[in-house]
Structure 1
Amino acid sequence: MQTGKIGVTTENIFPVIKKFLYSDHEIFLRELVSNAVDASQKLKTLAITGDFRGEQGDLAVRIKIDEKEGTLTISDNGIGMDAEEIDKYINQIAFSGVSDFMEKYQDKAEAIIGHFGLGFYSAFMVAKKVDIITKSYKEGAKAVKWSCDGSPEFTLEETEKESRGSDIVLHIDDDCKEFLQKSKIEELLNKYCKFMAVPVILGKKQEWKDGKMQDTDEDNVINSVAPLWSKSPSEIKDEDYKSFYRTLFPMNDEPLFWIHLNVDYPFNLTGILYFPRVKNNIELQRNKIQLYCNQVFVTDQVEGIVPEFLTLLHGVIDSPDIPLNVSRSYLQSDANVKKISSYITKKVADRLNGIFKDNRKDYEEKWEDLKLFVNYGMLSENDFYDRAKDFSLFTDVDGRHFTFEEYKTLIKDNQTDKDGQLVYLYATDKEEQFSYIEAAKAKGYSVLLTDGQLDVPAVSMLEQKFEKSRFVRVDSDTIDRIIAKDNAPELDLNETQRDILSEAFQSQVPKLDKSEFMVDVQAMGVDAQPVIITQNEYMRRMKEMSRYQQGMAFYGQMPDTYTLVLNSDHALVKKILSEGEASTKETLKPILSEIKGLQARQTILQQEQGKKKPEEITQEEKDDLSNTEQNLSKQREEKKQVIAGYAKDNGTIHQLIDLALLQNGMLKGASLNEFIKRSVNLIK
């Protein structure tokens, strides 16, 4: 029997392996099964080259659990090892047998998984002792047994083994007993080994018999050795793709469509990516792309390989050219990764463009599901915008779809304002903004519907991309101001009349939490609403963007600002003005006269002091101007109080304000109750 020390530069190699090389203890099973698959694949290659002329038999990897003995055994009937190879590939850590083998058989070797020679040592993450019982395929080879208890000390001795191959026997540590449970091992095999290229067998299939589950004679094969992505697309039917999707994601709805990736230059990559029906559920749909390396599961954290916006896709990617660290658990930055990312982006764009051109009707029907991907892509990848602008769609409030260019042609004659800006009107909620949409339609304008999760930031992005264009939500102002024309109606009221209307309504607007109201008077036509509420486009958009972008939280804390717009052409507003003038005429007459005199005096004083340098203005002159301004403010406040006194008991003013608030979902609680009572009294 030979004894010795494993050839490492430090005696602390095992703690290093446990702590740093592997992200999770469960990885050990993937590594050991991968090594067993490698051994089988090597035998196939040797048979092809003529270096092995014996019977291959049914190559397979078998997993055996002995709960009583506390062991987990991974067995293969691959090439096995002799004592010299044990010493070279096991005792000398990080000298990979695969690297040596690949160099010799680089033109013929099939899917060989390992690259670093460290995978075997992951066994010590869960085992207090590991035995290797192995026999080489070479003629006359003797079986050997290698044992190690997790220290650098090992033993190597001859033993008895009838057939070639290796048995890796793990004596499971006391704190890892879950790895002696069949359900746990089956779960891990399904996760990591479901598509390995050699059958992976865990015991026998079971069936219900005599009141309990019993083993049958049929092997319980965990994996599919020829997964769908490894086949040629020409061999695969649509139902095969759908069936494979159900295998990967049994709880999901049927996918919209899929993309089969198959490239061998300048890198090797195969896979199938599915477009799921995700709608607005971004976060919950991530991490559904599984990364494989030669059919061995690596990770479902594919950021870096797949562009961020395409992490919403589902499916698999398999590539031996994606660089990994020694545990195969973390992706590394590499030029190949960037090439792969660009390739996937191009393939997705080409597929979408192909569907759009070949069957636009079908594409439009899927657009509500697709636009989340497309908007996300255009927002995050400039290159993708350049590809997607030809198949990205606008949807109007009537459900019609247009390409960007088609929609521009549709609206350019009617929706260009007096400054030459093309105005894209949009609504975020058809029901809540119904009256505003109808007002725009009455002018012959088209309104887009942007009710998707990423539609608001997409609007801001498109505004930067389109020349001489702006996007405005349909309720941001009166329609005549949103798209201002040279022939816009003018307000036919004097200053006092405007003040009576604005002050009357301003004084009666209820105080709403985190909301501020201004009042404006406009001529909107006799058929337009008497009162509407608008919200400034810029401020509203900044508040919305604060939800998506860091550094904009300031806008999110600001109150919502609204404008209560009075239609001076409407009969009800005219009646309020007429009654207001009559009610306040005598009381306001001296106040208005005083205001007029004070304004004149203020103007004269400002002009006189404006001709002097600051140091030349006397204190008496400063006090005179200050007193004039204070008296002017006092008179204006008295004017407000007079108008507010009239408005306080005017039911029509309160009713119109409440109707406008109700229309915008802002009338609640006690105010809503009062409105209902007032409405009932008006009906009586």
Structure 2
Amino acid sequence: MAQKGNIGVTTENIFPVIKKFLYSDHEIFLREMVSNAVDATQKLKTLAERGDFKGELGDLTVRVTLNAEEGTLTISDRGIGMTEDEINKYINQIAFSGVTDFLDKYKDNANAIIGHFGLGFYSSFMVSKKVDIITRSYQDGAKAIKWSCDGSPEFEISDADKADRGSDIVLHIDDDCKEFLEKQKIQELLNKYCKFMAVPVAFGKKTEWKDGKQQDTDQDNIINDVEPLWTKAPSTLKDEDYKNFYRTLYPMQDEPLFWIHLNVDYPFNLTGILYFPRIKSNIELQRNKIQLYCNQVFVTDQVEGIVPEFLTLLHGVIDSPDIPLNVSRSYLQSDANVKKISKYITKKVADRLAAIFKDDRKDYEQKWDDLKIFINYGMLSQDDFYDRAKDFALLKDVDGKYFTYNEYKTLIKDNQTDKDGNLVYLYANDKEGEYSYIEAAKNKGYSVLLLDGQLDTPMVSMLEQKLEKTRFTRVDADIVDRLIVKNDSKESELVKDDKDSLTETFRSQLPTMDRTEFYVDVQALGADNLPVLITQSEYMRRMKEASKYQAGMAFYAQMPDAFNLVLNSDHPLIKGVLDGEKQECGSQLSPVDSEIKGLEARLAVLHQSQSAKKPEEITQEEKDDVKNTEQSIQEQRTKRADIIAAYAKGNKVVHQLIDLALLQNGMLKGAALDSFLKRSVDMIK
């Protein structure tokens, strides 16, 4: 006899809630349906193992069947099935009480609704206009029954014709969800959510190429591996097994560096395999490659906040029954078991890296360039990982040699300590582009590190805080003699007027570049050093680079790049430029310089006479006198600068030296580079 009734819920509009607020995550219904079928099958196997079921288990494959013509998707199992009483208990009574603020709290989170309120089965109504359950319990004498519901609180139970135990869940796909009647879509979802479930799951038949087309065979198309690699004992596996499994997970990825096989049963249950990928330049492209499972059922691959930030760069699988299956990521992040798992994985990763470093340092060094960004990310984001990693983190110099932090400190402490007791770590970002600066440092006996990684700028700042009395300086941040100041530097012997003339000569011919400023400095560097070189402030350059990573530093990003053009007053070419300027411009500059000195002397007298007076005692005439004198000085200085600029404009050596310095720093391009090449040819004819 047919039974009719209302599903026991505390709100009449449960189905609109399911349809509306689960819709953004509607594909999850298939995982729920197949998971329920697998659970029913596993329960039967358990009953058989305990002797509570004495019948033949037979074929336990869960089958997913698509009938596009009838508009149905059916999930069938040969598990324990249900009696009418169990239908009433597990299907008709939804644990859906305490719904205060329900919509506000869960409207954006399908997993949270399903997990909190036992709605796994009812997620089927996200895509269905009607759902039928045709089921027969494994118990002796059980009869087959059919449960039907059209998406309202009303249901109907009637007798059914089903000879075998188990359940068939028939989803009548809604008109607005027709994509779930496409074979390719269902195959995609099964591959995503059910790939490693513990019971065989079949979707259609395997195909073969025959008579010029793909045709079905008699062999079931099993979409899952019931014993994935992480469920097996590591002692039974070879390296090739791990590599093959990685190819299964990530078909288009390069071979991993190495892996960690996790197998824990206390204080929580956890299995899995984590792979260290060959991370390229962009860490953002490497995220979300860890798949989270609960008893081989896919939970999520959005693991940020679930595992530590830097571990999101790893690839692989984590499986734990202690991870709630049907909950939101925010819920996972706050779950106590998940936090324990996260901490454990961090420790295992550090222990594995330490062991590889200790057991085969040569192999570890060969892999360092790929490992570096991962380890640096961990050290930057977690203090506890820094404490573990500082003993196996490496520094690489420009000659390709590797050092631990302590080894490198020992190497440079005698020669690279400045007069204030600071240990100075010199580094380059571009071995080729900064070649001459590197060579100058090496000629002084200094060691130079190569820091060309994506995270090296923040790493430098962190190490300066972690390592006592330590400073990092790029080799082009200053002239080599001032990179590590060990005593007072030698002052140029040029008088102020000569320094000013040299400064103006070169400054007047510097190119105008977008968002770039040049400053000219005259230093006595020795006759054997370069006549001109360009340096860049370590502080400003680092602040600009840090602005790419840190919020609130946009101010530095907007500032122009500032460079120093350093003139070596000891070099014959610079001396020649100065001598030429004196020879060609001396007669023009002499009366101007005399006029400037006279005006400056007059201005000094005016200031001195007025300094003894109160502001209100100074007459307007006296104020105007000061203003006019200052204006006259500026006019004479402008006249002087114009005279020097005219000389510099026609001086090929000045232009050649500037262009050589720009070329050395990769700043000479386009028309300027073309002019340099033509001038070079002319000068050597």
Query: What's the CA shift for 1:75?
Result: 0.7
Aligned 1:313-352 pairs, distance under 5 A: 313-323=314-324, 325-326=326-327, 331-352=332-353
Q: What do the CA deviations read for 1:302-341 (whole angstroms, capped 9, x no partner)?
A: 1111111111111111122224555799745223222222
Cα distance change, pair 651–329 in 1 and its aligned pair in 2 (3 A): closer
Question: 1:387 corresponds to which letter in structure 2?
Answer: R
CA distance in 2, matches of 1:510, 1:18: 66
Q: Quick one: distance in 2 between partners of 1:455 and 1:326?
A: 37
Structure 2 unaligned segments of length 5 or more: list them.
98-113
Q: CA deviation at 1:633?
A: 2.3
Q: Give how far 1:371 is off.
A: 0.7
CA offset at residue 587 of structure 1? 2.3
What is the match of residue 442 of structure 2?
441
Q: Is the 8 A contact 1:397 1:447 kept in 2?
A: yes
Look up the equivalent residue of 1:411 and give its one-letter code: I
SS in 1 for 2:281: coil
Contact 2:133 2:147 in 1 (8 A): yes
TM-superposition CA deviations, 1:79-117 (whole Å, max 9, x none): 110000000100111389xxxxxxxxxxxxxxxx98853
Structure 2-normalised TM-score?
A: 0.94
1:604 offset after TM fit, Å? 4.4
Q: Pick closer, same or farther for the CA change 1:214–1:131 going to 2, 3 Å.
A: same
User: Is 2:203 the partner of 1:202?
Assistant: yes
1:607 Cα offset (Å)? 4.7
Structure 2 CA distance, aligned partners of 1:115 and 1:222? 29
Partner residue in 2 for 1:35: 36
**Change in 2 beyond 3 A, CA 1:431/1:639:** same
Mapped contact 1:304–1:341 kept (Cα < 8 A) = no
* Alpha-carbon shift at residue 394 of structure 1 (Å): 0.9
Partner in structure 2 of residue 82 of structure 1 = 83
> Which residue does the alignment assign to 1:592?
593
CA distance in 2, matches of 1:332, 1:8: 30
Q: Which residue of the partner structure matches residue 397 of structure 1?
A: 398
The residue aligned with 1:263 is: 264
Structure 2 residue 217 is matched with structure 1 residue 216: yes
- 1:50-199 map, 5 Å: 50-94=51-95, 117-199=118-200
Corresponding residue for residue 554 of structure 1: 555
Q: Report if the CA contact (8 A) 1:127-1:172 is conserved.
A: yes
Alignment partners' CA distance in 1, 2:393 and 2:605: 61
Distance 1:244 1:186 in 2: 20
1:42, distance to aligned residue in structure 2 (A) = 1.1
Q: How does 1:250-649 map to 2 (within 5 A)?
A: 250-323=251-324, 325-326=326-327, 331-486=332-487, 488-607=489-608, 609-610=610-611, 613-649=614-650
- Deviation of the 1:605 alpha carbon: 4.2
3-state secondary structure, aligned to 1:93: coil
What is the CA–CA distance in structure 2 between the aligned matches of 1:566 and 1:114, rounded to whole Å?
71
Cα gap change, 1:581/1:321 in structure 2, threshold over 3 Å: closer, same or farther? same
SS of the residue 1:477 aligns to: coil
Residues 421 and 469, structure 2, Cα contact 8 Å, conserved in 1 = yes
TM-score w.r.t. length of structure 1: 0.94
Instruction: Work out whether residues 278 and 369 of structure 1, in 8 Å CA contact, stay in contact via their aligned partners in 2.
Output: yes
Give 1:248 deviation, angstroms. Answer: 0.4
- Cα deviation, 1:326-385, whole Å, max 9, x if unaligned, reads 579974522322222221211111111111111111111011111110111122212221
- Long gaps (5+) in structure 1: 97-112
CA distance, structure 1, for counterparts of residue 470 and residue 311 of structure 2: 29
Cα offset, 1:611, TM superposition: 5.1
Contact 1:298 1:329 in 2 (8 A): no
RMSD of the alignment, in Å? 2.1
8 A contact 2:293–2:300 mirrored in 1: yes
Matched with 1:15 is 16
Q: Counterpart in 1 of 2:100?
A: none
Quote the residue 1:101 is aligned against. none
Moved more, 361-370 or 42-51: 42-51
Aligned mates of 1:328, 1:540 — CA distance in 2: 39
8 Å Cα contact 1:22/1:327 also seen in 2: no
Aligned length: 668
Contact 1:22 1:329 in 2 (8 A): no
Between 520-529 and 321-330, the greater mean CA deviation after superposition: 321-330
- 1:433 to partner: Cα distance: 0.7
Paired letter, 2:640: K
Deviation, 1:209, is 2.5
Quote the Cα distance in structure 1 between the aligned partners of 2:325 and 2:231. Answer: 21
Deviations 1:484-542 (A, max 9, x none): 22163331111111112111111111211211111111111222111111111111111
Kindly tell me: are residues 79 and 22 of structure 1, through their superposed partners in 2, closer, same or farther at Cα, counting changes over 3 Å? farther
Would you say the 8 A contact 2:292–2:317 is kept in 1? Answer: yes
3-state SS of 1:267 partner: coil
Q: Quick check: 1:514–1:560 contact (8 Å CA) kept in 2? A: yes
C-alpha separation between the residues in 2 aligned to 1:260 and 1:545? Answer: 36
* Deviation (angstroms), 1:124: 1.2
Per-residue CA deviation, residues 206-265 of structure 1 (Å, 9 max, x unaligned), is 222233323323222111111111122222211111111011011111100011122222
After TM superposition, give the deviation of residue 596 of structure 1 in Å: 2.8
**1:377-430 Cα shifts (integer Å, max 9, x gaps):** 122212221111111111111111111111111111111112222111111111
Confirm or deny: 8 A CA contact 2:332 2:338 kept in the other structure: no
